[in-house]
Structure 1
Amino acid sequence: MRAVLMAGGSGTRLRPLTCDLPKPMVPVLNRPIAEHILNLLRQHSIEEVIVTLHYLPDVVREYFGDGHDFGVDLTYVVEEDQPLGTAGCVKNIAALLQDTFLVVSGDSITDFDLTTAIQFHQEKNSQATLILTRVPNPKEFGIVFTDGDGRINRFLEKPSAGEVFSDTVNTGMYILEPEVLDYLSSGMERDFSKDLFPLLLQAGIPLYGYIAEGYWCDVGSLETYHRVQQDALQGRVTLEMIGTEIQPQVWVGRNTILPADVQIQGPVLLGNNCRLSAGTCLEAGTVLGDNVIVGTQAQLRAAVVWNGGVIGEESLLNNCLLARNVRVDRHSQIQEGVVIGSRSRIGEEAYISQGVHIWPGKQVEPGAILNQSLIWGTTGQRHLFGQRGVAGLANVDMTPDFAVRLAAAYASTLEPGTSVLVSRDQRSVSRMVTHALTSGLMSVGVNVLSLEAIALPISRFAAHTLSVSGGIHVRVHPDRADYLLIEFFDHKGINLTKGRERQIETAYFREDTRRVTLTDIGTMGYPSQTLAAYAQGFEKWLNTQVFYRSHCRIVIDYAYAVSGVVLPQLLNKFGCDAVVLNATLHQMPLDGGALQNLIAQLGQVVVALSAGLGVQVSANGERLTLVDNHGNVVSDQELTALMAHLVLTAHPGKTIVVPVTASSAVDQVVAHHGGHLVRTRTNPTDLMEACQRQSAVVLGGSADMGFIFPQLHPGFDGMFTIAKLVEMLTLQDITLSDVRSQLPQIIHHHRRIRCPWVAKGSLMRHLVETHPSQQLNLIDGIKIGEPESENWVLVLPDASEPLIHLYINSGDLTWADRMLQLYSRRIEDFARLEPTSDVTM
């Protein structure tokens, strides 16, 4: 039997370790990852291996040669022009694969029983068998769900938080029959999970999943690389150790000299020809490669030092990674999480702060204190984007230097000379960060069209009228007053897709953004008539004559935000009788308590003035809180149903788009008016795209996100929602309280429950496995309920925090309360945590 070892990866997220080394050649316990894989194949009598190469192929070929020294027969195939993807590169060598073959990734450490997996494949008479395993946090992998016979009935590549319905993941190891390659075209980039396996499922070809026992780790980041070293030392994975075990959990290579007073606390691995001086202290988790020299009184705590490293006397290395031929001079301190690329030199008494990354060939001067990476800057978290964009603590996470790098990374994914729209709210911190973003864009050769401080709906509207490639908007986070939110949208004004977000993240973390010459630096412009263009669109999609004869007085609370500068001008133009509250601009955002006080005041003013309604505009013009003519606040779920009722009364039979979390009251309203309801994931991008993609859509969104009127623009627009409310109430000659009395009465609970990231996948799999498939809906999260029933439970993992959102929906208060308690206990018991807060609507 032959195996295909895919060893072409560049290991972007392992930089700087992989700047000059292919990912499969990164050493674990002083052997390349690819060597451990070949050892595993040989142990299971697979000795003919085809190695596919792309990035730095000569490094792999020079190390392994023909494979005879490693007990295997190697054949190399190099993708010269461009990578063909996991499936494309295998299709490229189909002529060499005439019988059952194994595909294995070159960047994983595992001790799976491949013999048993192959027997499973043969017993099932399978055409394609995926070797699976279970992991605590499956978000970074392709998740898979199998039936009792092992047949795969659903899988998804790198799911969002709401799509995690299992903790069973694809390991990138497949047992295949050669016939499956006939479903692929030659010379095209194709992926097994995204392309081939869906084709096989569509064709009715049975796919099986073998859930393997044992250890598996995809070495996809610096954190996992360090962890797999420690796991191997601790014996959690069975790997061949190099050297002699001179005492329990201390392995020493050939010709390595240990002085009598050296202190070693296992587990520790020392390579060949190492030299340790007097008083050296090696603590648990330390791995030294070949030819490493350690000076007197040096301390190494869980440090990994590759071949040729030199550690000076009295230096301290704390839980860090040093690539080949790194020199650390005496009295230096290397702190936790530091990664130093090959051939770098750290001068005497230098101090490298926690988390700093140093690219190959760099030199740190003696006595320097290094707090940032020696390239563009520090490297942050693994993911930048959350549910709505990039968010973090204002002026702590979201700093000007971070904004410059983020904008440069985004602009590097665009063509030079294109234009990007930039806008913000009125806050001082937003202005500061916007200026930094502008600098980053221009430095990469992208032109900037600045709208300054303006409501977000106007910025989205302007995106397609100004013919830009995309846009960036900066504002205080609508749900956290101490957070700043940077949102990116495309040329239509729609938030970027997950694929585009990953492109930006890749450019950011690689820190290899484009640079242009002086003459190609981007320009800065300030478009005029933006508000006038929005007003024209506003007027085009309103029955403005209604406002002149309307006797409906409205009270609008702008909560001291920028929408208060815009909306009064629009409403006054149409003669709307509007009483404005708190329309001045404040630099500091209001907290939740202050906003609630303003809403209470709003209700009192509505009653005092006998107004038809009151609204508080929030989220930089996107959202609103509604108060009826009796001064009562309309809950979010009720507001969503109310808007659907009013719009469908005016446009019966049309389409409404709402997130999966919306109350079933919306279903009843839509059915009553003969309309069509589309539910989407809670991601704002999905809602916006669905409103553009579906036919005859007249309303989208929900009260907690904002409402979309796709004929005006594709984003949420609280200002246009207010105008439409007045228009529809006047045309239908009805009061807001009367509309509320006509709405279905549905109980809708929402509870937030803390759940560790590592427990989310297994929790979701547990729920899937313990409920009949006919009761499950997996649009986003896991929705449990009878088909066409008002009684349902939705368990939805949070995309940005270690939380589970629990939604209960029913027309029966007793059932809803019982399910709230039942599922809360199930989730809390499973996660072994207590709930953080409750919100009942």
Structure 2
Amino acid sequence: IIFVGNSTNSGTLRHITAELRDVGCSYVMQQEDNAGMAGAVEAAAAHLSDPFLVVSSNDVVEADAYRLVLEAADTGADVALLAARLDRHFPGGYLVTDERLAVTHIVEKPRPGEEPSDLVNVVVHYHREAACLLDALHRAQTDRDDRYEAAIELLIGEGADVRAVPYQGFWGAIKYPWDLFPIMEHLLGQHEQTYIASTARVSPRAILEGVVHVGENVRILENAVVRGPAYLGEGSVIGNNVLVRGGVHLGAHSVVGFGTEVKHSYIGRGCWFHTNYIGDSIIDDGCSFGSGAVTANLRFDEASIKATIEDEPVDTGTNKLGVIMGRGCRVGVNASLMPGVLVGPGAIVGSHVCLTADLAEGQKAMPSDAYRVETSDNPVPGPSSPTNDWTGQGGA
């Protein structure tokens, strides 16, 4: 297995390859000036042997998908492309085929209503000969980020046997951040029964319902309620009176402190919460929420929530969406984050701020003066005053 990464995920890949040492894997770095799938294949060129698979981490499929592609290869295909049938628009590549499912054309990102077929290109691709693909990549000409697809088009035009492989199993494609939710739900559903690590400490006064994975050295304190499916990463803490429900992934060494509710959310590693509401949210590693901060996840009109991607509104397809938050953010006490806001890595949301618009990486949303101080002409008597018997107006 060859992992191809870049400067933003090299640490993660180093960790993965160390964990999979027995499998036999390595990683290479892709050059920033040679992006896309074409650049990834070229970065791994020295390590490729015939035949090989090209797999994207943005396409999550079941093991059966690989079996189907390899079966197509066994029948003599030079290239085999996994394809999912969809009855709705998808912002990706489409395959045009003949009656034998031989691919005749690849159409990248057609507009809604202009889809050439119902077969969407899923990046689990078989290639019989690395040299053929690398040569086609070298010759492919395009002014878009589709040189890999253009190379396959070249091979098709030169007579290569390129076939679509229909697939009906689970497919989770990550095009937008909220696409992580169905993948999280699918992976949580793979656990058939509750697992509690031997080093975990669960209070007898805590409640675990449904299927819950409790990792090594997890602590679940008194009166906490965890309703599965849920995954609690190693070293995480579920504090007193906490409610976890609706399908939750909690990363390693995260702390969900007293009185917090986490509902249907993906939480990264090393996050901290205390008397918060976190609903339908995606929060990356190392974020912290001050007491009383909440993520709103439902509009008053219950309409589908739109997010802003590259200055354009994008319908998320759901009426339940909280915050999408990058790594290392800080949220002050009693802050409110409105549905669907995007908060970039390292951003800060100040105390009492009601965040209604996105924050870019490193930006701060700080509160303005919300009150003024004045001198009263008629000071209220203190408790030591003989005129205050605490029984009249304003008394206790």
TM-score of the alignment, normalized to the shorter chain, above 0.5: yes
Aligned to 2:159: 204
Task: Give how far 1:229 is off.
Answer: 1.5
SS in 2 for 1:313: coil
More helix by share: 1
Aligned to 1:311: 256
SS in 2 for 1:163: coil
Distance 2:359 2:56 in 1: 22
In our comparison, the structure showing a higher alpha carbon Rg is 1
1:184 alignment partner AA? L
Is structure 2 residue 348 aligned with structure 1 residue 511?
no
Moved more, 340-349 or 174-183: 340-349
SS in 1 for 2:28: strand
Distance 1:187 1:92 in 2: 17
Aligned to 1:90: 41
Aligned to 1:148: 99
Q: 1:115 to 1:231 in 2, by over 3 A?
A: closer
Q: 1:252 to 1:82 in 2, by over 3 A?
A: farther
Q: 1:344 to 1:83 in 2, by over 3 A?
A: same
Describe the superposition over 1:599-631 as per-residue Cα deviations: whole angstroms up to 9, x where unpaired: xxxxxxxxxxxxxxxxxxxxxxxxxxxxxxxxx
1:214 alignment partner AA? G
Aligned to 1:77: 28
1:112/1:215 contact within 8 Å kept: no
The aligned runs of 1:358-369 (5 Å cut-off) are 358-369=325-336
Aligned to 1:349: 292
Describe the superposition over 1:277-326 as per-residue Cα deviations: whole angstroms up to 9, x where unpaired: 12211123322211110111211122322111111122211223322211
Q: 1:80 to 1:325 in 2, by over 3 A?
A: same
Aligned to 1:249: 193
1:138/1:168 contact within 8 Å kept: no
2:69/2:125 contact within 8 Å kept: no
Residue from 121, 126, 134 that aligns with 1:175: 126
1:155 alignment partner AA? I
Task: Give how far 1:328 is off.
Answer: 0.7
Q: 1:370 to 1:130 in 2, by over 3 A?
A: closer
Moved more, 298-307 or 344-353: 344-353
SS in 2 for 1:366: coil
Residue from 159, 162, 181 that aligns with 1:226: 181
Is structure 2 residue 227 aligned with structure 1 residue 283?
yes
Distance 2:323 2:160 in 1: 49
| RMSD (CA atoms) | 3.2
Distance 2:158 2:359 in 1: 39
Distance 1:92 1:310 in 2: 39
Is structure 2 residue 14 aligned with structure 1 residue 62?
yes
1:112/1:213 contact within 8 Å kept: no
Task: Give how far 1:110 is off.
Answer: 1.6
SS in 1 for 2:126: strand
Is structure 2 residue 162 aligned with structure 1 residue 195?
no
Distance 1:314 1:513 in 2: 29
SS in 1 for 2:72: helix
Q: 1:52 to 1:375 in 2, by over 3 A?
A: closer
Task: Give how far 1:136 is off.
Answer: 4.6
Task: Give how far 1:155 is off.
Answer: 3.0
The aligned runs of 1:830-841 (5 Å cut-off) are none
Describe the superposition over 1:686-737 as per-residue Cα deviations: whole angstroms up to 9, x where unpaired: xxxxxxxxxxxxxxxxxxxxxxxxxxxxxxxxxxxxxxxxxxxxxxxxxxxx
SS in 1 for 2:156: helix
Is structure 2 residue 283 aligned with structure 1 residue 340?
yes
2:172/2:182 contact within 8 Å kept: no
2:107/2:116 contact within 8 Å kept: no
1:338/1:353 contact within 8 Å kept: no
Residue from 109, 122, 127 that aligns with 2:78: 127
2:286 alignment partner AA? R
1:52 alignment partner AA? V
2:133/2:152 contact within 8 Å kept: no
Distance 1:159 1:121 in 2: 28
Distance 1:67 1:161 in 2: 42
1:269 alignment partner AA? H
Describe the superposition over 1:474-495 as per-residue Cα deviations: whole angstroms up to 9, x where unpaired: xxxxxxxxxxxxxxxxxxxxxx
Moved more, 147-156 or 357-366: 357-366
1:340 alignment partner AA? I
Q: 1:58 to 1:137 in 2, by over 3 A?
A: same
2:109 alignment partner AA? K
1:112/1:214 contact within 8 Å kept: no
1:234 alignment partner AA? G
Residue from 215, 218, 224 that aligns with 1:274: 218
2:7/2:29 contact within 8 Å kept: no
Moved more, 185-194 or 56-65: 185-194
- Identity over the aligned pairs, expressed in percent? 21
Task: Give how far 1:227 is off.
Answer: 1.6
Residue from 237, 254, 268 that aligns with 1:293: 237
1:345 alignment partner AA? S
Instruction: Work out the number of aligned pairs and report it.
Output: 323
Q: 1:194 to 1:62 in 2, by over 3 A?
A: closer
Q: 1:339 to 1:299 in 2, by over 3 A?
A: same
Distance 1:337 1:347 in 2: 18
Q: 1:224 to 1:285 in 2, by over 3 A?
A: farther
TM-score (norm 1): 0.35
Distance 1:351 1:363 in 2: 13
Q: 1:226 to 1:365 in 2, by over 3 A?
A: same
2:78/2:160 contact within 8 Å kept: yes
1:185 alignment partner AA? H
TM-score (norm 2): 0.71
Describe the superposition over 1:206-253 as per-residue Cα deviations: whole angstroms up to 9, x where unpaired: 311112343221233332212211122234xxxxx6xxxxxx632333
Q: 1:78 to 1:296 in 2, by over 3 A?
A: same
Q: 1:308 to 1:141 in 2, by over 3 A?
A: same
The aligned runs of 1:386-785 (5 Å cut-off) are 511=360
SS in 1 for 2:123: strand
SS in 2 for 1:103: strand
Residue from 107, 123, 137 that aligns with 1:184: 137
1:369 alignment partner AA? S
Describe the superposition over 1:403-454 as per-residue Cα deviations: whole angstroms up to 9, x where unpaired: xx8xxxxxxxxxxxxxxxxxxxxxxxxxxxxxxxxxxxxxxxxxxxxxxxxx
1:328/1:346 contact within 8 Å kept: yes
Aligned to 1:137: 88
Distance 1:320 1:230 in 2: 10
Which stretches in structure 2 are left out of the alignment for 5+ residues?
Answer: 298-321, 345-354, 364-396
Which stretches in structure 1 are left out of the alignment for 5+ residues?
Answer: 1-48, 236-240, 242-247, 377-400, 406-508, 515-841
2:106/2:149 contact within 8 Å kept: no
